[in-house]
């Protein structure tokens, strides 16, 4: 009798387990899609801090978005190539970190073109989205660019506090699906905060995406010359 009971249990388990696994997988998939979030880093690359961040992101299987300052690319070519090879999105943070608001069309175009050229020489042709320095950018300047511009929804002011614990706590309190987090990969404390945030949010079922992937997962087509806080939050009417 005991052997019979064991055989029946075994059979039941075999019959039921594939369905159960499938159901679990689909639940995880839905959860991952619902809880998508993007880490973005400005003002790099910087050899020491950006490399350590990339090591940490690679260990955790996370893709992020890096808005680079053009004049910091020469001398850091290997890091820029590593960013691309490891699946991160690369964008432009102007050539020398100028405030674009109020500038002439010529200046805005030059700031984009000089940085675009450096990236294209290194990585081949691509579309490099813009993160305007200080987030300051209006429809007037937007008319002169042909890529989407990305602001953020969560700003822990990491450059001001340089305190990993405080910065991580701010981000975790504000975290929500579809959020775009602003950090700067030139401070060791920001690297520590970013990795702590990844560990905590992965635990909660979040999936980290590039900004471009965030748009794709939300099925929103980004419009060139529009400033977005996140895919669902354009700064002006489309
Ligand atoms: Zn900046």
- Has 184 been annotated as catalytic? yes
Of these residues, 42, 43, 116, 185, which one is catalytic?
A: 42
- Predicted pLDDT of residue 26: 41
> What pTM value is reported for the model?
0.86
pLDDT at 30 over 90: no
pLDDT tens digit sequence for 118-152: 999 999 999 999 999 999 999 999 999 999 999 99
Tally of CB atoms within 10 A around 172:
16
Is 51 part of any domain?
A: yes
Residue 38 is part of a domain; what is its CATH number?
Answer: 3.20.20.370
Provide the 10 A C-beta neighbour count for residue 185.
28
- Given this model, what pLDDT does residue 4 score? 55
Distance 67 CA to ligand 1 centre (A): 8
> pLDDT (tens digit, 9 = 90+) per residue, 31-80?
445 799 999 999 999 999 999 999 999 999 999 999 999 999 999 999 99
Rg (the chain; Cα; Å):
21
In a domain, 12, yes or no: no
Given 170, 184, 185, 192, which residue is catalytic? 184
- Counting DSSP H helices and E strands in the chain, the numbers are 9, 8
Q: Is position 42 annotated as part of the catalytic site? A: yes
Distance (Å) from CA 155 to ligand 1 centroid = 12
> Does residue 2 fall inside a structural domain?
no
Please give the share of the chain, as a percent, with pLDDT higher than 70: 86
Residue 141 lies in a domain: yes
Number of domains in the chain: 1
**In 35-93, alpha helices (H):** 47-60, 77-85
Domain with 91, as residue range(s), is 26-234
Over range 4-13, report the average pLDDT: 51
Answer whether residue 192 shows pLDDT above 60: yes
Residue 150 falls inside a structural domain: yes
Distance 41 CA to ligand 1 centre (A): 9
In the predicted structure, residue 12 carries a pLDDT above the cut 60: no
Distance 205 CA to ligand 1 centre (A): 30
Mean pLDDT over 23-30 rounds to 42
Report if residue 21 sits inside a domain.
Answer: no
pLDDT at 94: 98
Distance 111 CA to ligand 1 centre (A): 14
Each as own residue / partner, the long-range contacts of residues 106-113 (CB below 8 Å, 24 or more positions apart, any chain) are: 108/141, 108/144, 108/145, 109/144, 109/145, 111/70, 112/145, 112/147
9 is a domain residue:
no
Per-residue pLDDT band for 90 (boundaries 50, 70, 90) equals very high
75 part of a folded domain = yes
What confidence score (pLDDT) does residue 120 get?
98
């Amino acid at each position: 009798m005991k052997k019979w009971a064991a055989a029946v249990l075994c059979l039941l388990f075999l019959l039921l387990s594939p369905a159960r696994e499938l159901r679990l997988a689909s639940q995880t998939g839905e959860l991952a899609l619902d809880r998508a979030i993007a880490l973005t880093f400005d003002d790099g690359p910087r050899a020491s801090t950006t490399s350590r961040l990339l090591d940490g992101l690679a260990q955790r299987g996370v893709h992020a978005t890096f808005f680079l300052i053009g004049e910091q690319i020469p001398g850091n070519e290997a890091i820029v190539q590593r960013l691309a090879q490891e699946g991160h999105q690369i964008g432009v943070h102007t050539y020398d970190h100028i405030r674009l608001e109020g500038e002439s069309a010529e200046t805005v175009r030059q700031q984009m073109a000089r940085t675009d050229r450096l990236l294209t020489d290194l990585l081949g042709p691509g579309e490099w989205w813009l993160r305007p320095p200080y987030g300051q950018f209006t429809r007037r300047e937007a008319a002169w660019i042909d890529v989407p511009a990305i602001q953020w929804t969560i700003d822990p002011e990491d450059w001001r506090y340089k305190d990993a614990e405080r910065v991580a706590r701010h981000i975790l309190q504000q975290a929500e699906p579809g959020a775009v987090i602003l950090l700067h990969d030139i401070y060791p404390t920001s690297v520590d905060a970013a990795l702590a945030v990844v560990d905590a949010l992965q635990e909660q079922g979040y999936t980290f995406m590039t900004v471009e992937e965030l748009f794709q997962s939300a099925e929103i087509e980004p419009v060139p010359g529009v400033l977005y806080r996140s895919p669902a939050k354009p700064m002006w009417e489309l």
